[in-house]
């Protein structure tokens, strides 16, 4: 295992200072042009050298007739060329001394026997020159912390803490907008394509050492190096959680992923076993993978599986409670001491069974401060799940009712929401126990937006929040198991 | 069964011309005040008579000292008063000749033995005066088609086609914003509370006859009238689908729902059986319930379970395919004829196995017109699932690349998106086979917004779309089963 990302074969792929670009032109419908535009749009600060046989400039950058004309050997070559000239281009890059390449071009292993032969030749050429190559048939890399986005779509949102390696480029580039709506972001996303050379195990290793990455996400259609996958995962799990979404367990899924990257997915049970042995948490949809990442990247795991649910709405509370057994969570009763401490804050219509259904709060701010603080202190509980409504429109209407002017309403709504968020943030930081919230409101609500921007996990709906808490508990169990077996191995020596 | 909603006991509750309001004041933190503000905010066009012992006006409406002082007997009484004076108020309403009431006040059956006695007295009083009463411990009614929203939160979004009866008020009032973000809306939402008098079976009957309602949604913690539930559902299913989200199957869920509305939820298997016998489609989360409603309210069921998936992105396509077996859907191979018709439109990198992964399209508009049209025509398939990316930013970038001015870019982006939507709409209307789309983009994308506003189902993610299509297939099966058994019964006579 590497100690720093600088040691990784992927370092210069994700953090180049200079790029040789093949396949961009001034034709705005060409894929390579689009992809170079993505790089420019995010404000990449390094040098870009477009290589084009005819053009003098490409997208306002000085162009070069061939790679041999370049004034230096750039850190990285990005190749978006027709299949037939990819190998000669890699050869030329090798001659120039370029050591890293992203091959976007498709038409290799995924198209059948002829493509398999081509891919072997590509790999041999890369090896001859000691080039670390990601792809072919991939969409490249997005490292927003380095202002690098080589993918097809413009980057949106913020640099984040999710390190993702994906056997589908879509699950990198098409997630920018999606993650933005959830207040999340990639630390770095790698689309690995056909994995001729670099594969997801290399990416895992990189993320294990990446300081921006708090949780690792994998989209898996096939694992090529089973043993290395398990060993690498087990080395990472004690420090960082890994979540995997695996597709290919069904016959239809298998067929689909085969035509996608030319890899043969295995039966579901086999992969289930590999993930279990690796200490990797499995997600069953891409949404769920990011639900889990959201919580695993922001919260320390609880010491046990006892959860308390705080709500002011019966239905959402009951739905969360009903889902707990599925997620292997227990709902303990509160201690007498807690009930006593709670009593000044809760109305007579409230239920103090778990879920704690307050129905309403005498002082609304208590819901965000005193009440969750008391619940987190309970000795019977390991974690807290809180339902948030706090609609902006409700606060505004109350202030309007008090006769406030439109300007004062805006200002005071902001103040109240800031106060609520601040209380929640204090609790989130102060208490060792994890604390997940859920809401049906989106980032359009300024309260939800502010929570998300403080990296406080807000899950969209009760079941998803409960399952995410379940994943956090599971991470603790997997981590303990991996650590225990490592200790055993050491003591055997 | 009733033939028109006018015959329903709920008609004047959901469509009053005049309301006597108890519990609103000029105190802006009172719940009754908030709820009356919701009514005013939606622009209710009938008369409102606030009853208040001291105030001359309440929220700028003329107030009356007591119900006996009212100039008429309004259609509906809404009661948001302290528990102890609810019964005497219902008595007074009865004396006045009011025949419909919403009792929001809590403190009845859900609080234990004393409350049970109180609730019986409330019910006896209502019966004495032949009052149809919804509640107590409910949040009232939202009928946006009648500009009526008696619930706690301001209404948002548009009047829709989902008729919902809920044993949790939250799942009415807190869904306004959520449904808006999904381009959906309630035809009418009833919060039934403790169901002392009116229950969800009455609501189902109402929705069965309601012309604005295309699909019925139920949030169920407990079914009180099992036989009536089954009979009513079976009478409705041939004309309208019903979806139920049941909570209480687990021990924790049972405890939570008991303290919520004082009803004892039954074991999961029992409810599963009731739903199956009723022809009701079961959903497992509130999100899933609305996923199913979105599709069931907009699309006719397919004749079979063979689905074709159209995508330009491998991962989302594979994820959808992998989920099909879970949803009892089959992915047939396309006919030779279809493959021939497709070939001019698809690039050499495409896969024409099902999922049809186009990777890209030579002419982008084909993706929205010719290609889905050909797939829908295939004799081997019963339905189509299409993945949409069509990011606004991508179109804008392409136009910018062509050297267009900012103004022209906006205008042309709009035009292109309109064209895409129009093609999709034509297909959606023209072809008898159902057609569901999915995307990771939200309503913030103008393409997605426009599709939603045309009632074209856009589901958020591949698995959710596949499961929604599964629900549509299931509806056909359930409907056929109910119809067949009804025919059998008739022929037996």
Q: Which residues of A touch B28 (CB under 8 A)?
A: 398, 401-402
Alpha carbons A117 and A119: distance in angstroms, whole number: 5
Mean pLDDT, chain A, integer: 93
* Mean pLDDT within A456-460: 97
Instruction: For residue B328, give how far its alpha carbon lies from the nearest alpha carbon of chain A (Å).
Output: 12
Nearest to A174 among B251, B260, B313 (CB): B313
Q: Scanning every residue of chain A, which has its alpha carbon at the shortest distance from the alpha carbon of B359?
A: A260
Instruction: Identify the pLDDT of residue B261.
Output: 62
Q: Which residues of A touch B60 (CB under 8 A)?
A: none
Residue A384 bridge partners (DSSP): A308, A435
* Mean pLDDT within A413-422: 94
Phi, psi of B387 (to 5 degrees): -90, 130
Instruction: For residue A121, give how far its alpha carbon lies from the nearest alpha carbon of chain B (Å).
Output: 20
**Residue that has been written with the tokens 């055997």 in this structure:** A492
Q: Can you say how many angstroms the Cα of residue B399 is from the centroid of all Cα atoms in its chain?
A: 39
Alpha carbons B322 and B302: distance in angstroms, whole number: 20
Q: Give A55's contacts (C-beta < 8 A, 6+ positions apart).
A: A25, A26, A63
Return the CATH number of the domain spanning residue range B5-296: 3.40.50.261
Both tokens of B324, joined, read 């099909």
Instruction: Identify the pLDDT of residue B263.
Output: 59
Burial A374-385 (b: 16+ CB within 10 A, else e): bbbebeebbbbb
Q: Which residues of B touch A219 (CB under 8 A)?
A: 315
pLDDT in tens, A293-316: 999 999 999 999 999 999 999 999
Closest to B445 (Cα-Cα) out of B382, B394, B377: B394
Alpha carbons A145 and A212: distance in angstroms, whole number: 8
Q: Which band of pLDDT confidence, cut at 50, 70 and 90, is reported for residue A25?
A: very high
Partner-chain contact B248 A322, CB within 8 Å: yes
Q: Which band of pLDDT confidence, cut at 50, 70 and 90, is reported for residue A352?
A: confident
By the 8 A CB rule, do A460 and A407 touch?
Answer: no
Q: Which residues of A touch B35 (CB under 8 A)?
A: none
pLDDT in tens, A99-154: 999 999 999 998 889 999 999 999 999 999 999 999 999 999 999 999 999 999 99
C-alpha distances in Å from residue B394, one per residue of A25, B386, B389, B397: 17, 19, 10, 5
Nearest to A178 among B313, B353, B440 (CB): B440
**Residue that has been written with the tokens 């599964």 in this structure:** B470
Q: Which band of pLDDT confidence, cut at 50, 70 and 90, is reported for residue B174?
A: very high
Partner-chain contact A322 B252, CB within 8 Å: yes
Nearest to A259 among B181, B353, B464 (CB): B353
8-state DSSP, B468: H
Partner-chain contact A401 B253, CB within 8 Å: no
Q: Scanning every residue of chain B, which has its alpha carbon at the shortest distance from the alpha carbon of A169?
A: B315
Nearest to A247 among B41, B285, B318 (CB): B318
A47 burial (CB, 10 Å; 0-12 / 13-18 / 19+) is middle
Instruction: Identify the pLDDT of residue B402.
Output: 81
* Mean pLDDT within B24-46: 93
Alpha carbons B139 and A186: distance in angstroms, whole number: 42
Closest to B154 (Cα-Cα) out of B48, B40, B44: B40
Nearest to B319 among A247, A251, A314 (CB): A247
Nearest to B247 among A111, A167, A318 (CB): A318
Instruction: Identify the pLDDT of residue B393.
Output: 83
Instruction: For residue B352, give how far its alpha carbon lies from the nearest alpha carbon of chain A (Å).
Output: 9
Instruction: For residue B485, give how far its alpha carbon lies from the nearest alpha carbon of chain A (Å).
Output: 34
**Residue that has been written with the tokens 């009053």 in this structure:** B16
Partner-chain contact B397 A445, CB within 8 Å: no
Q: Which residues of A touch B444 (CB under 8 A)?
A: 181
Q: Which band of pLDDT confidence, cut at 50, 70 and 90, is reported for residue B482?
A: very high
pLDDT at B443 over 80: yes
pLDDT at A259 over 70: no
Coil/strand/helix, residue B2:
coil
Partner-chain contact B253 A393, CB within 8 Å: no
Instruction: For residue A194, give how far its alpha carbon lies from the nearest alpha carbon of chain B (Å).
Output: 12
By the 8 A CB rule, do B22 and B80 touch?
Answer: yes
Give percent above pLDDT 90 in chain A: 83
pLDDT at A455 over 70: yes
* pTM score above 0.80: yes
Q: Scanning every residue of chain A, which has its alpha carbon at the shortest distance from the alpha carbon of B308?
A: A252
Closest to A202 (Cα-Cα) out of A285, A210, A283: A210
Both tokens of A234, joined, read 């087990």
Partner-chain contact B349 A107, CB within 8 Å: yes
Closest to B115 (Cα-Cα) out of A351, A397, A346: A351
Partner-chain contact B249 A315, CB within 8 Å: no
Nearest to B247 among A181, A248, A319 (CB): A319
Count chain A–chain B contacts defined by CB atoms under 8 A. Answer: 243
Instruction: Identify the pLDDT of residue A380.
Output: 94
Both tokens of A481, joined, read 């198991």
Interface residue of B42, B315, B461 to substitute, partner A, most A CBs within 10 Å: B315
Alpha carbons A210 and A189: distance in angstroms, whole number: 12
Instruction: Identify the pLDDT of residue A155.
Output: 95
Angle at A448 between CA A444 and CA A452, to 5 degrees: 110
Q: Which residues of B touch A468 (CB under 8 A)?
A: none
Nearest to B325 among A34, A169, A250 (CB): A250
Instruction: Identify the pLDDT of residue B269.
Output: 86
Nearest to A318 among B31, B221, B355 (CB): B221
Q: Which residues of B touch A324 (CB under 8 A)?
A: 250, 252
User: What torsion, rounded to 10 degrees, do the Cα atoms B113, B119, B125, B129 define?
Assistant: -160
Instruction: For residue B249, give how far its alpha carbon lies from the nearest alpha carbon of chain A (Å).
Output: 7
In the CATH scheme, what is the homologous superfamily, with its name and number, of domain B307-475? Succinyl-CoA synthetase domains (3.40.50.261)
Coil/strand/helix, residue B202:
helix
By the 8 A CB rule, do A252 and B325 touch?
Answer: yes
By the 8 A CB rule, do A294 and A182 touch?
Answer: yes
Alpha carbons A179 and B286: distance in angstroms, whole number: 22
* Mean pLDDT within A432-439: 95
Phi, psi of A55 (to 5 degrees): -80, 145
Phi, psi of A102 (to 5 degrees): -110, 120
Partner-chain contact B321 A255, CB within 8 Å: yes
In angstroms, the first-to-last Cα distance of chain A is 20
Interface residue of A38, A314, A389 to substitute, partner B, most B CBs within 10 Å: A314
Partner-chain contact B318 A168, CB within 8 Å: yes
Partner-chain contact A393 B154, CB within 8 Å: yes
8-state DSSP, B306: B
Partner-chain contact A37 B401, CB within 8 Å: yes
Interface residue of A25, A60, A110, A260 to substitute, partner B, most B CBs within 10 Å: A260
pLDDT in tens, B214-270: 999 999 999 999 999 999 999 999 999 999 999 986 677 667 666 666 655 568 888
Q: Which helix (H) or strand (E) holds B402?
A: none
Three-state SS annotation for chain A: CCCCHHHCCCHHHHCCCEEEEECCCCCCCCHHHHHHHHHHHCCCCCEEEEECCCCCEECCEECECCHHHCCCCCCEEEECCCHHHHHHHHHHHHHHCCCEEEECCCCCHHHCHHHHHHHHHHHHHHHHCCCEEECCCCCEEEEHHHCEECCCCCCCCCCCCEEEEECCCHHHHCHHHHHHHCCCCEEEEEECCCCCCCCHHHHHHHHHHCCCCCEEEEEECCCCCHHHHHHHHHHHCCCCCEEEEECCCCHHHHHHHHHHHCCCCCCHHHHHHHHHHHCCEEECCHHHHHHHHHHHCCCCCCCCCEEEEEECCHHHHHHHHHHHHHHCCECCCCCHHHHHHHHHHCCCCCECCCCEECCCCCCHHHHHCHHHHHHHHCCCCCEEEEECCCCHHHHHHHHHHCCCCHHHHHHHHHHHHHHHHHHHHHHHHHCCCCEEEECCCCCCCHHHHHHHHCCCCEECCHHHHHHHHHHHHHHHHHHHHHHHHHHHHHHHC
8-state DSSP, B1: -
Q: Which residues of A touch B248 (CB under 8 A)?
A: 318, 322
Instruction: Identify the pLDDT of residue A353.
Output: 87
The residue ranges of every structural domain in chain B are 5-296, 307-475
Alpha carbons B484 and A404: distance in angstroms, whole number: 63
Partner-chain contact A253 B322, CB within 8 Å: yes
Instruction: For residue B187, give how far its alpha carbon lies from the nearest alpha carbon of chain A (Å).
Output: 20
Which ipTM value was assigned to this complex? 0.94
Partner-chain contact A251 B28, CB within 8 Å: no
Both tokens of A249, joined, read 């367990």
**Residue that has been written with the tokens 């059986």 in this structure:** B273
Instruction: For residue A35, give how far its alpha carbon lies from the nearest alpha carbon of chain B (Å).
Output: 11
Alpha carbons A194 and A178: distance in angstroms, whole number: 25
Q: Which residues of B touch A171 (CB under 8 A)?
A: 315-316
B493 vs A99, higher pLDDT: A99
């Amino acid at each position: 295992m590497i100690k720093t990302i600088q040691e990784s074969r992927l370092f210069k792929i994700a953090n180049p200072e200079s790029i040789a670009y093949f396949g961009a032109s001034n034709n705005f419908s060409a894929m390579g042009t689009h992809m170079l535009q993505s790089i420019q749009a995010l404000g990449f600060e390094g040098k870009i050298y477009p290589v084009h046989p005819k053009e003098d400039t490409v997208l306002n950058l000085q162009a070069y007739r061939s790679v041999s004309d370049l004034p230096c050997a750039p850190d990285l070559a990005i190749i978006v060329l027709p299949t037939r000239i990819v190998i000669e281009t890699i050869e030329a890059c090798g001659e120039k001394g370029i050591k890293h390449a992203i091959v976007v071009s498709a038409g290799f292993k995924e198209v059948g026997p002829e493509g398999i032969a081509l891919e072997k030749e590509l790999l041999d050429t890369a090896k001859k020159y000691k080039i670390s190559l990601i792809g072919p048939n991939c969409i490249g890399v997005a490292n927003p912390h380095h202002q690098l986005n080589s993918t097809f779509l413009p980057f949106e949102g913020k640099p984040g803490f999710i390190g993702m390696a994906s056997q589908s480029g879509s699950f990198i580039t098409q997630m920018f907008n999606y993650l933005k709506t959830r207040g999340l972001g990639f630390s770095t996303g790698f689309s690995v394509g056909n994995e001729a050379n670099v594969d997801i195990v290399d990416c895992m290793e990189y993320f294990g050492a990446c300081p921006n990455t708090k949780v690792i996400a994998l989209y898996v259609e096939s694992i090529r190096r089973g043993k290395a996958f398990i060993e690498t995962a087990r080395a990472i799990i004690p420090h960082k959680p890994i979540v995997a979404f695996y597709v290919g367990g069904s016959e239809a899924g298998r067929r689909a992923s085969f035509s996608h990257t030319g890899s043969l997915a295995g039966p579901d049970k086999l992969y289930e076993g590999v993930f279990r042995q690796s200490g990797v948490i499995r997600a069953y949809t891409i949404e769920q993978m990011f639900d889990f990442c959201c919580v695993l990247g922001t919260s320390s795991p609880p010491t046990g599986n006892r959860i308390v649910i705080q709500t002011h709405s019966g239905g959402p509370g009951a739905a969360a409670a009903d889902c707990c057994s599925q997620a292997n969570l227990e709902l303990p009763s509160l201690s007498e001491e807690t009930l006593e401490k709670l009593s000044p804050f809760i109305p007579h219509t409230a239920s103090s069974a778990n879920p704690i259904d307050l129905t309403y709060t005498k002082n609304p701010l208590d819901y965000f401060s005193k009440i969750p603080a008391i619940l987190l202190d309970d000795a019977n509980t390991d974690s807290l799940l809180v339902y948030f409504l706090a609609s902006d429109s409700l606060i505004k209407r109350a202030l309007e009712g008090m006769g406030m002017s439109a300007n004062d309403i805006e200002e005071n709504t902001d103040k109240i929401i800031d106060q609520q968020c601040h209380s929640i943030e204090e609790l989130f930081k102060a208490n060792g126990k994890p604390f997940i919230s859920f809401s049906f409101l989106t980032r359009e609500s300024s309260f939800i937006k502010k929570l998300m921007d403080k990296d406080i996990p807000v899950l969209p709906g009760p079941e998803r929040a409960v399952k995410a808490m379940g994943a956090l508990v599971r991470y603790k169990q997997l981590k303990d198991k991996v650590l225990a077996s490592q200790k055993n191995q050491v003591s055997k020596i």
